[in-house]
Structure 1
Amino acid sequence: MCNILRYEKRHEDELLALLKNEPDWNSFTSDVAIGKFRESLLNSESYICESHGAICGYVRALVDGFGVYVSELYVAPQYRNNGYGKELLGKVRQAHLEQDVYVLSDEDLYYGKLGCKRVGSVFQL
């Protein structure tokens, strides 16, 4: 069981500590990028996933008048295969029923497994 909450500044330290454990996320958490990443989490539509009171993942989406674009989706390795990524994506989808939601990702197998439809080089939820 998890709770999906709108990202707030109070979540920053715990989320960044989680992501700093992942070498693949260095482009977001490096000294050069961290300030811009902190700002983007607050200025985008971002949600966190909590399991037993601990942050275990997040999603960040860019919203404009033409669509909703999921930029990042992350679930910590020890929490994967519990449906948390799907729940995070579902939260974005539910918040934008009137708009198309696209995923910008290189994790094609994952999104295909979820049943997302490929549209050009992106997936549609």
Structure 2
Amino acid sequence: MISLALTGLVVGVFKAYQSAYGSPAALVEIPEQPISTLARRLDKVRDAAANAAMRGLATAVVSTVLAVALLAAVSVLTWFAPSEPSPDKSVCLTFENKLVAKIPGDNVSVSTLATGAAVSPC
């Protein structure tokens, strides 16, 4: 989950950078045409670049929010996850009041006991 969140953050940063400065691999060129239509062509290219930047920024925001939510979920799961049983809880097996075995855990299943044997919390 953490790697997925970190991947989301990397995607968010990349898309935000790409929205601000454009794609480093793409070069937009305007083909040569008469100067009379230059303003209209520039407006089209400018609009296309602005729309691409808005889409990239939206992707960056969504990716970053999801990544932060994933990191928060991981933190909550880690904080509230059940802990392992404490090592203090154990069951003792005694024979004629002498300790034979100390078994970690809360309980032990025993089918039969010999005379003089006992199972009890330690």
Question: Normalized per residue, which structure has more helix?
Answer: 2
Which one scores higher on RCO, CA 8 angstroms, separation ≥ 6? 2
**TM-score when scaled to structure 2?**
0.21
Rg: which structure is higher? 2
Question: Normalized per residue, which structure has more strand?
Answer: 1
**TM-score when scaled to structure 1?**
0.21
